[in-house]
Amino acid sequence: MGAIDALLMVSVVLSGCATLLLVADRYADALQAGREALAMARGFRDREAEVAALGTIGAARVSLGDPGGVADLERCIALCDAEGSSSVIAWRNNLAFSHSILGDLRRCFAARERAWEAAERFGSARGLRWLELERTAESYWSGRWDQALAIADSVTAQASGGATHIMESECRLWRGRIRLARGQLGAALEDARRALAQAREAGDRLNLDPALAFGARALLAAGQEAEAGKLLDELLATLGGGLLKAELGV
């Protein structure tokens, strides 16, 4: 293997590592690795690695509270479109998620619709199914609760039949919120319990933090203040530590 080939491999590996750090919620590390990967990718004119690096940078910036990351994600998507890459489906969905983090639901829904159009254009059955599940949140936020329940029920039915799904914890949270609002306290508590157990097993803070918050809310509604307090203490300890580290830059 020549020196250039070796450096190209390093560029690809670095880009992949940045994406893995993003998935692991290590946003500051993902941002640093993504920027290094982007510099190498541009130096070698490796468009695929450049797309991944730009997308990772953008998503990490938004997750760290920097709305400027949206522009990076849009540049990533523009490159995907120029290259005719099907990875545009995932990055458009990531853009939708980023808008939701920033509290802009109108742009979130619009970005997800564009992701849906891309999935149809590329004939991606997996992409369409994933986006359908993502619409549980959209249906909840827009007041179409029966539609949200139908999607959540389909996911939990698959899981109860032995086929677990990565979205089950999230779908249980949306369903639990609706059940709680409708006065179905016992069912809401069961969804809260199952969602929290699944989130703990997965170890993903994007699922675990909301599961802790809703679990505390459901327990409080049931008059179980002590148990609710334990979940809130766990949630606040994690959030407080994260905020403190960000403030100190460590």
Reported as a single tens digit per residue, the pLDDT across 168-182 is 899 999 999 999 999
164 backbone dihedrals φ, ψ, rounded to 5°: -70, 155
Q: Which of 30-39, 65-74, 119-128, 235-244 has the lowest mean pLDDT?
A: 235-244
CB count, 10 Å around CB of 126?
9
Residue 249, pLDDT score: 35
pTM above 0.85, yes or no: no
d(CA 199, CA 171): 12
Tokens of 198: 């699944």
Residue 74, pLDDT score: 97
Measured CA to CA in angstroms, residue 15 lies from 6, 29, 70, 108 at distances of 14, 12, 19, 26
Q: What is the mean pLDDT of residues 185-192?
A: 98
CA–chain centroid gap for 136, Å, is 14
Q: Inform me whether the pLDDT recorded for 163 exceeds 60.
A: no
List the Cα angle 47/52/53 in 5-degree steps: 95
d(CA 162, CA 194): 15
CB count, 10 Å around CB of 64?
13
Percent above pLDDT 90 for the chain: 67
82 backbone dihedrals φ, ψ, rounded to 5°: -65, -35
Q: Inform me whether the pLDDT recorded for 2 exceeds 70.
A: no
pLDDT band at 240 (very low <50, low <70, confident <90, very high): low
Contact 115, 93 (CB under 8 A): yes
Contact 155, 135 (CB under 8 A): no
Q: What is the mean pLDDT of residues 208-233?
A: 96
Residue 22, pLDDT score: 86
Q: What is the mean pLDDT of residues 72-95?
A: 96
Q: What is the mean pLDDT of the chain?
A: 87
Q: Inform me whether the pLDDT recorded for 160 exceeds 80.
A: no
Tokens of 152: 């959540």
Question: Residue 106: CB partners within 8 Å, gap ≥ 6?
Answer: none
pLDDT band at 206 (very low <50, low <70, confident <90, very high): confident
